[in-house]
Amino acid sequence: MRRPTLRIVEYHHSATAKYVIEGVRVNGKRKRLFFATEEDAEKELGRIKTKQRKEGENALKLSDALRVMALESAEKLKPFGKTVADATDFYVKYLRDAERSIPVSELVDEYLAAQKRLQRSEVHISDLTQRFGRFKEDFSDQPIRIVTTIEIERWLHALKLSPQSVNNFRARLAALFGYAEKRGYVEKNPVSVIDKIKLVDAPPEILTADQLQKALDACPADLLPCIALGAFAGLRTAELLRLEWHDIDLKRGFINVAASKSKTAKRRLIKIAPNLADWLRPYSQKKGKLYPYSHRWYHFNVDLLKTPAELSEWPNNGLRHSFASYHLAKHQNAPQLALNMGHTTPRMIFDNYREVVTPEEAEKYWSIRPKAAAENVVSMEAASV
C-alpha cells in the first residue's frame, strides 16, 4: 500500500486553525492535525518525520526470528482480543511482582517464628509445621506473590484426604497468606476465595466402654493420666500437655484449668468423677507436667493404643467426643457439660461432640476403673447386699 505524503497545506475553513498537516495515520486511520501558524505546523511536521525515520531504522534492526515470533504471537493473541503489547505488559507485571515477593519456604519459616513469639502451644506449632511442610515441599522457592488461587485449590484436592482434613489444611493456609497480606508480601489472600468442602453431618467418633477399658489397661504408666483425663474430664490435647500435677486437687475433687493453659484463655474448674479419681490416685505425689514428652504424644495416642483397643484407626478427638457423649447421657445437663468443656453455650455440645448413647452404656462407661479399684467396688457392692 502506498504511504500517503506528509505535507502542510493552508486551511480556509477556520479562523483559528489556518494550517493543517495531511498524510498522518494513527493505527492505520487517517488523521489531520490543525495549527494556528505555519511555524507551529512545520515544527510538528519535523518531529513526525524524525519519529518515522527512527521507527523505520529500528524496524530494519529486527532479526527475521524476532519478526516471525512477533507475528506468531500476535496470531495466538488475536482470538482473545489482545496484542503483543498487552501480553508484554502482563508478563512484565508478573516478573516485577515476583521480584517484590519472598519464597514460600521463607514465608512459612517467618510465620512459624511469629507463632512461637505469640506463645502458641507446642501442639499447634507441631500441627502447623507438619501441614506447611507438605506445602513447602511442593511450592518450595516459588515466590508467594505469584502463587494463584487455582494452584492452591488444585493442591488441596490432590491431597486426597477427608473433607474435614482438606478444610483444616485450607484454614491453615488462609492464616499463612493472611499473615503475608498484612505484611505486604501479597496484594490479596489467594485462599480467601476458595470454598470450603461441604461436610456431611456425621456423628462424632467415640470409643465404646470396652475399647476404652482395653486402651487404659494397656496404656504406659506415664501416658495413662492424660488418656484418663481426656476420657473422663474432656480436656483438649493442648490443655493436657500444659497441665501440671499441682492443677489436680484430688482432696477437693477438682481440676483447675488456668487461663494460661486453656485454649479459650479462660479459667475453669472441672469436677473429678469418682472413677477418674481412681485412675489418678496412684500419681498423687507426682510433680511437674503431667506429660512432658509432647513430641511423643501422637505416636502413643494413635499408634500405641489403637491396637489393644482393637481399632483400625484411633477416632479423631475420640476421648473428648466420648466424654461429652457419655456425660450428657448420664447427667442430662448440657449447660454444666459446656462449662466443663470450656464452651460459652451448650450449642457447641450438640453441634460438635454429642453422639447419642443409652443410659446403660453411659453407666458402663463411667464405671471404667483400674482393675484393683474395680474389684474393690464390686466387693463393696456385694457386701452391701
Q: 119: left (phi > 0), else alpha (psi -120 to 50), else beta?
A: left
Poorest-confidence range of 26-35, 225-234, 333-342?
26-35
Lowest mean pLDDT: which of 5-9, 55-59, 193-197, 338-342?
55-59
The average pLDDT across 226-249 equals 92
Write down the pLDDT at residue 374.
52
- Asked if residue 124 has pLDDT above 60, the reply is yes
User: What is the SS3 string spanning 115-131?
Assistant: HHHCCCCHHHHHHHHHH
Q: What is the pLDDT of residues 360-381, one digit of tens each?
A: 999 999 999 998 655 554 443 4
Buried b (16+ CB within 10 A) or exposed e, 70-87: eeeeeeeeeeeeeeeeee
DSSP string, 4-59: PPPEEEE--S-SS--EEEEEEEETTEEEEEEESSHHHHHHHHHHHHHHHHHHHHHH
| pLDDT value, residue 91 | 79
- Over range 221-236, report the average pLDDT: 93
> Average pLDDT, stretch 320-335?
90
- pLDDT-derived band at 356, boundaries 50, 70, 90: confident
> What percent of the chain lies above the pLDDT cut of 90?
41
Whether 357 shows a pLDDT value over 90: the answer reads no
Can you tell me the mean pLDDT for 16-27?
A: 84
C-beta atoms surrounding 336 within 10 Å: 14
Per-residue pLDDT at 107: 94
Residue 249 pLDDT > 50, yes or no? yes
**pLDDT value, residue 309:** 86
Which is more confident, 199 or 269? 269
Say which residues have a Cβ less than 8 Å from residue 153's Cβ, sequence separation at least 6.
194
| Residue 377: per-residue pLDDT | 44
Q: Is the pLDDT of residue 145 over 80?
A: yes
Q: What pLDDT is stored for residue 382 in this prediction?
A: 44
- The confidence score (pLDDT) of residue 383 equals 43
Q: Which of 144-148, 197-201, 306-310 has the highest mean pLDDT?
A: 144-148
Residue 263 confidence (pLDDT):
76
Average pLDDT, the chain: 84
In the predicted model, what is the mean pLDDT of residues 129-138? 92
Give the pLDDT confidence score for residue 189 in this predicted structure: 95
Q: What is the pLDDT of residue 84?
A: 84
Look at 111-125, 133-147, 251-265, 362-376 and tell me which has the smallest mean pLDDT: 362-376
Q: Is the predicted pLDDT of residue 136 greater than 50, yes or no? A: yes
Share of the chain above pLDDT 70, in %: 85
Report how far residue 111's alpha carbon sits from residue 96's, in angstroms, rounded to the nearest whole number. 24
**Predicted local distance difference test score (pLDDT) of residue 378:** 43
Q: What is the pLDDT of residue 354?
A: 63
3 state SS of 357: coil
